[in-house]
Structure 1
Amino acid sequence: MQVCDYHLCLTVYIFTFITGFPANVLAFYTLSRKVWRKPAPIDILLLNLTISDLLFLIFLPFKMQEVVNKMEWNIDYFLCPLSGFVFYMTIYNSTFFLTAVSVERYLGVAFPIQHSLRRRPIYAVFASIFMWVFSILHLSIVYIVPYYNPSGTVPPSRNVCYEGFTEAQLEILLPVRVELCVVLFCVPFLICSFCYINFIRILSRLPNIGRRRKLRAIGLALGTLLVFALCFGPYNVSHVVGFITKKNPAWRDKALLLSTFNACLDPFIFYFTSAAVRNTLSAILRGIWGRSWCQCPRILWSSKKETPETEKNSLPKPQEVTNAL
């Protein structure tokens, strides 16, 4: 049975949920308004990535519950394949949408005129639908395999989730995992690397873009590639190792934790990619700062009203305090 370090896994899951959920809700609100008012292909792709991350975070408490119960599944079993399906499907969905964003950014720099003439929001909608359907069909194996029990085999255990597979189940699952690694990770990663490497190469040669804006765009490209490799690479390598050794490697659960982190790292990509997200976050921070700053004169005035009568004459008048602030 898979063993997950109690404190490590629970800490990562809780941290990802606490930081990722509000950040993705904010991104979802901002991008939804932007798409409703003036849709752009990259905003549609980022909105779908946000929805995928939110689905992942909504089902993350099931993983927390599993860790708390020492990797035993003590609730209705039908929730096990369902939560596993959503959990893994959204992980691979992220690779698709991160790749689509990289393609959109590369085309905008490499072929600015042709791309601006041909870009249509409806193309991004069709691409998003295709990516959702493609990842759902591929990851449906996660939902099907736990129930696959041909005659003559021992029924799979029901006290653990997505573990304790029979030989018949492993004959299907292990090759499919390798296919997932190649199709849903390696191919998107190669496309993403090609797009961002050429994006950086072209952008560094453009003289009419400010240095600060250029560095931010290059930093975003490198950061996205780093997140892509660190969050999804080790977990997909475990698929290949498991196929060769015919069992899950001992470090597979820790590799999955890196994939979990992606849900709270994506909002940083939203912030640097979308001006609408940056403006919304700036407005919220200004509102919080302004509200707290406005309370300062009231606090000062309240403290003056509580001073003894003998000290009132030596204090400045309220108008003087307001002018000083």
Structure 2
Amino acid sequence: MIVTDTPTLYLSIYIIAFLIGLPNAVLAFFCCIRKIRSKPLPIDIIMLNLVISDLFFLTFLPVKMKEAADNMFWNMPYILCHLNLFLFLMPLYGSSQFLAAISTERYVCVAFPVKYKNPRRITYTILICIAIWMFILVTAVFTHRVAYGGSDNGTVPQLCYTNFTHVQLQNLLKMRLAFVAAFFCIPLIICCFCYINTIRILLKLPLIKRCRRLRAIGLALGTLLVFALCFGPFNASHIVGYITQDDPKWRMHTLTFNTLNACFDVIIFHCISYEMRLAFKVCAKGFIQFYVRIKSFFKCCCRT
């Protein structure tokens, strides 16, 4: 039974994530492309892949808005429900992989600066990103076969990725437990190890500028914020589901808040990319000037 106010909450969160995440993701995408064309670095390539993952997710988000507006019934072509797994769930899993890759790259940059300048690192980084995408794709295809294989999709109104047979649910619960290890625990451990050691090294170097240290701390806190608030509850639902052998009733709540990952990624983009910070300042300055002009225009209209 779906609570009447719940879809409204989902729709509100989807709209917030879309309005905040999409402009920043598009801005970060063009900044990454511009930087890679001029002077590519491994961090730019990884960040570009993280941005692409967010764009896949944000492009599909209006479909989830329509689902929430229809009281969580699937009144759209069912092919979109199949794409839900590939363009909504898997990009969220992929984000944790790319965040772990970013933390590793930052640690290598600080701990091994000589090896970091090796020109082959660009090739290695590209191969790592390709491997991550292949891992995500294979996982999505295998999950799709388990979730939709042999199911009856002819019922109207339909529910998308919530109504499973007993066998399907049992197999999914096992897979989700494996996802907790592969897409949450291991990336979280990697991020914690890399950022703790990165910050520790930067604090010991007297010639490092204070702003660089603050950006490293901000990057670490932003990443941990994503894992704690976005990925944590969702993966906790997988563990609870495996223990109880059933989908927790609050699982959809955690999945919805998981979408805020696209908003928090803005912190990571800002800490990593100088071009992103510069573009953000230009956009903010233009917005303030536009606001001042509009305000002055209305004042003049009121006086006349």
Normalised to the residue count of structure 1, the TM-score between the two structures is: 0.84
For 2:124 and 2:208, how far apart are their aligned partners in 1? 28
1:317 counterpart residue number: none
For 2:82 and 2:2, how far apart are their aligned partners in 1? 16
* Stretch moving more, 254-263 or 11-20: 254-263
* Number of residue pairs matched by the alignment: 297
For 1:235 and 1:127, how far apart are their aligned partners in 2? 26
Residue 84 (structure 1) shift: 2.5
For 2:254 and 2:207, how far apart are their aligned partners in 1? 42
For 1:50 and 1:21, how far apart are their aligned partners in 2? 10
CA 1:175–1:280 in structure 2 vs 1: closer, same or farther (change >3 Å)? same
For 2:264 and 2:221, how far apart are their aligned partners in 1? 14
Q: CA deviation digits over 1:281-323, x for unaligned, max 9?
A: 2233445556778x79x98xx99xxx9xxxxxxxxxxxxxxxx
2:59 counterpart residue number: 58
2:221 counterpart residue number: 222
1:95 counterpart residue number: 96
CA contact (8 A) 2:147 2:172 kept: no
For 2:57 and 2:290, how far apart are their aligned partners in 1? 34
Alignment identity in percent? 46
1:243 counterpart residue number: 242
CA contact (8 A) 2:199 2:217 kept: yes
* Stretch moving more, 127-136 or 164-173: 164-173
Secondary structure at the residue paired with 1:155? coil
For 1:6 and 1:227, how far apart are their aligned partners in 2? 23
Q: CA deviation digits over 1:159-187, x for unaligned, max 9?
A: 11011111121232111111111111111
Tell me, yes or no, if structure 1 residue 70 matches structure 2 residue 67.
no
1:155 counterpart residue number: 152
1:268 counterpart residue number: 267
CA contact (8 A) 2:17 2:259 kept: yes
For 1:290 and 1:155, how far apart are their aligned partners in 2? 56
1:65 aligned partner, one-letter code: K
1:74 aligned partner, one-letter code: N
1:166 aligned partner, one-letter code: T
CA 1:53–1:2 in structure 2 vs 1: closer, same or farther (change >3 Å)? farther
For 2:203 and 2:34, how far apart are their aligned partners in 1? 33
Residue 280 (structure 1) shift: 2.1
RMSD: 2.5
Give the gaps of 5 or more residues in structure 2: none
Alignment of 1:297-312 (within 5 A): none
* Stretch moving more, 128-137 or 216-225: 216-225
Q: CA deviation digits over 1:233-263, x for unaligned, max 9?
A: 1101111111111111122112112210001
Alignment of 1:254-265 (within 5 A): 254-265=253-264
Residue 29 (structure 1) shift: 1.0
CA 1:143–1:276 in structure 2 vs 1: closer, same or farther (change >3 Å)? same
Secondary structure at the residue paired with 2:204? coil
CA contact (8 A) 1:53 1:263 kept: yes
For 1:188 and 1:227, how far apart are their aligned partners in 2? 12
CA 1:78–1:292 in structure 2 vs 1: closer, same or farther (change >3 Å)? closer
1:169 aligned partner, one-letter code: Q
Give the gaps of 5 or more residues in structure 1: 308-325
For 2:11 and 2:290, how far apart are their aligned partners in 1? 35
Normalised to the residue count of structure 2, the TM-score between the two structures is: 0.89
For 2:56 and 2:2, how far apart are their aligned partners in 1? 24
For 2:130 and 2:202, how far apart are their aligned partners in 1? 30
1:34 counterpart residue number: 35
CA 1:161–1:105 in structure 2 vs 1: closer, same or farther (change >3 Å)? same
For 1:119 and 1:200, how far apart are their aligned partners in 2? 26
1:205 counterpart residue number: 204
1:322 counterpart residue number: none
2:181 aligned partner, one-letter code: V
1:155 aligned partner, one-letter code: D
Residue 119 (structure 1) shift: 5.5
Tell me, yes or no, if structure 1 residue 81 matches structure 2 residue 82.
yes
For 2:172 and 2:153, how far apart are their aligned partners in 1? 14
2:280 counterpart residue number: 281
CA 1:161–1:292 in structure 2 vs 1: closer, same or farther (change >3 Å)? closer
- Larger Rg computed on CA atoms: 1
Residue 224 (structure 1) shift: 1.4
Tell me, yes or no, if structure 1 residue 167 matches structure 2 residue 166.
yes
